[in-house]
Amino acid sequence: MGNCKNCGNGLAGKYCHVCGQKNIIPEERTLGHLAHEFVHFFTHLDGKFVKTLKTIFTHPGLVTLHVKEGITQRYFKLSSLFVIITLVYFLIPNTFTISNNMVTTYQTEVSGGGVSKWKKEIALNKSRRVHLSETALARRYNEKKHNYGKLATLLFLPLTIPVLWGVQKLLKFHKDKKLSPYDMGIASLELNSLIVAGFYIIVGLITQAILAIFKSETAIIAMVVISLLAICCYILFFFKRVYNLNLWKSTLSMVLFCSGYIVAMILYGIITFVIFI
């Protein structure tokens, strides 16, 4: 069959066994075949994307478990999935989503004690350093956060991994059940894909619809609370499946994870403040 045009190794099939490049035969070098590949790519992408997203929503932890076991071909790449979800979230106007970044302005960020006081000091130091008034700095901060804040959702991924590691360490899972750092990355992708797509986008759209129809703040609060409880249940079953735990240990894992995730979100708030200030 000749040699691979890319690496020069001998071909023994349609694809090079060394570099993976496809051996394009003359019959495939037509516009018709190019159009076929174009259509196939998008239908294949759509099928895997929807299937993976559906599995994440309906079978908590299954994708992570399968990847841990080496089963990957049936799923859309989780890193790409999360990036696509984040881009969709970014493109949807803030008024139609539960935006994790637009709930606070500069003034609310620096009002109060503790972390807020520390943020205030950072802002004032920045103001002096760039020779900009605090008012102008606040305006610039709010604009940046409004325009680009939702992209910072990507920070959820690295911040979730230490939380997973902490839960695993505290509960001392058997070594056969433990996730490797790579598997924790996959778990972070699965969990955060669910949180961003399910809570920030879908629940956001539903709450805005409720507000438009019923104009009831109470209904929105109830919707958000129910959604958060649903996420907690999801996390419980996620740990149950991935680590093969009984119910009480799964519940404990969920409580520890949620507690750690809250801390991670506080850290996320600090990081995003530093970035956008």
Q: Are residues 12 and 132 in the same domain?
A: no
- Return the structure tokens found at 273: 């403040």
Q: Answer with the residue of higher pLDDT: 131 or 46.
A: 131
Q: Answer with the residue of higher pLDDT: 173 or 51.
A: 51
pLDDT at 118: 87
Query: pLDDT-based confidence at 73, cuts 50/70/90?
Result: confident
C-alpha closest to that of 173 among 235, 247, 253, 237:
253
Give residue 32's domain range. Answer: 1-58
Q: Are residues 156 and 249 in the same domain?
A: yes
Does 66 map to a domain?
no
pLDDT digits (tens, 9 = 90+) for 17-66: 777 777 777 676 677 767 777 666 655 656 788 899 999 999 999 999 99
Name the percent of the chain lying above pLDDT 70.
Answer: 92
Q: Are residues 39 and 150 in the same domain?
A: no
Q: Are residues 164 and 38 in the same domain?
A: no
- With 90 as the cut, is the pLDDT of residue 229 above it? yes
Does 63 map to a domain?
no
Q: Are residues 35 and 151 in the same domain?
A: no
- With 90 as the cut, is the pLDDT of residue 101 above it? no
Does 29 map to a domain?
yes
Does 54 map to a domain?
yes
- Return the structure tokens found at 106: 């500069």
Does 119 map to a domain?
yes
Does 71 map to a domain?
no
Q: Are residues 104 and 239 in the same domain?
A: yes
Q: Which of 25, 58, 91 is the last residue of a domain?
A: 58
Q: Are residues 28 and 121 in the same domain?
A: no
Quick one: average pLDDT of 82-90? 91
Query: pLDDT-based confidence at 100, cuts 50/70/90?
Result: very low
Q: Are residues 212 and 131 in the same domain?
A: yes
Number of compact structural domains in the chain = 2
pLDDT digits (tens, 9 = 90+) for 52-65: 999 999 999 999 99
Does 272 map to a domain?
yes
Q: Are residues 15 and 81 in the same domain?
A: no
pLDDT digits (tens, 9 = 90+) for 244-255: 999 999 999 999
Alpha-carbon span 101 to 21, nearest angstrom: 43
C-alpha closest to that of 202 among 230, 240, 235, 233:
230
Does 128 map to a domain?
yes
C-alpha closest to that of 276 among 115, 192, 97, 151:
151
Q: Are residues 177 and 214 in the same domain?
A: yes
Q: Are residues 32 and 95 in the same domain?
A: no
Query: pLDDT-based confidence at 102, cuts 50/70/90?
Result: very low
Q: Are residues 40 and 161 in the same domain?
A: no
